[in-house]
Amino acid sequence: MPTMTSVPYDEFAYFHENLSEWSLDVPIPPVSRFFVSVDGLRQLSGLRWGTGDPELVLLHGGAQNAHTFDTVALALQRPLLALDLPGHGHSDASPMPALAVASHAVDVARALDQLTTGPLPLVGMSLGGLTALMVAHERADLVRKLALIDITPGVSDSKSRHITDFVNGPTSFSDFDELLARTVEHNPTRSESSLRRGILHNAVQRDDGTWVWRHQRTARPRLEASAIGDLWGALAELTMPVTLYRAMGPGSVVDDEDEAEVLRRRPNARIVRVNGSGHSIQGDQPLVLAALLAQWCAS
């Protein structure tokens, strides 16, 4: 029987843990949650960090949410937007499948039309990276430069199997400890405190005491690499600078062939290899990523 013990959650109460875990001595800037309509029926949500006009936009990966970039945002100390993709975090679900990149890109572009006043640097990790690529291709007026975090159009089921095996696990968990145990098992390089914090941001407790991932609250299509169109062709046609941050540790979904194909399609693309990180660079090496993004924004 599931335990009915309630686990309190305040999404803005954990930033001090991020600071402590990474020995960051910086102030916590103002952070607020926003909602914008994308089609008259559904809303896209996200976090606004700092005050003033945002200087960049961050898109998370599949089965994640905007809080995955909390440590990066704290380290950057600049105004930015971190969006929840459709069906993730606090955003409404999309009628399209989980990997409907083109549909997600339309929603993101509609949100950015309302949230920004000119082209901004756009950063996308994994599914968010493919979505960002499509936004840059279809709405170049919104994107000044594009950064892809450990993702290329060369992603496949075989390369991402370790991720989809975790995401496509149980549909619910009897209690928080069961959910935490599975997450720790599949993320052996991460601290338990960071994983606990991540779960609180990425899961919800139902009335019967069981827990479910936020991205599984409604329809639950299996997460598989799917036909996403000619994104290699879209990459070649982009008009703005492109940077790929490639994770070099176990768990990356980018290999040497992908890197070579990026350079074949975009000879002027910049490739930055990040050592000591798996697929989630913002989780494994957030301070390194923050420093790289700060340099990238200023260049």
Query: Would you state the structure tokens that stand for residue 222, as one six-digit string?
Result: 């299996």
What's residue 223's pLDDT?
Answer: 47
- For the chain, which ranges sit under pLDDT 70? 1-4, 97-99, 217-228
Write down the pLDDT at residue 106: 95
Closest CA to 147 of 245, 277, 262, 267: 245
Q: Where are the domains of the chain?
A: 16-171+220-298
Residues 6 or more apart whose Cβ sits within 8 Å of residue 152: 235, 244, 254, 258, 259, 261, 262
Selected catalytic residue, list 70, 84, 150, 175: 150
Cα 28 to Cα 13, 32, 49, 90, distances in angstroms: 11, 12, 9, 22
Strand-pairing partners, residue 273, are: 246
Instruction: Give the pLDDT confidence score for residue 274 in this predicted structure.
Output: 98
Catalytic residue selected from 126, 160, 277, 280: 126
pLDDT for res 218? 64
126 is catalytic: yes
60, 104, 215, 279: the active-site residue? 279
Identify whether 150 is a catalytic site residue: yes
Q: What is the pLDDT of residues 44-73, one digit of tens each?
A: 999 999 999 999 999 999 999 999 999 999
Told to judge if 157 belongs to the known catalytic residues of this protein, a careful annotator would answer no
Residue 159: the pLDDT is: 85
* pLDDT (0 to 100) of residue 1: 47
Domain topology for 16-171+220-298: Rossmann fold (3.40.50)
Please, are residues 91 and 18 in contact by the beta-carbon 8 Å criterion?
no
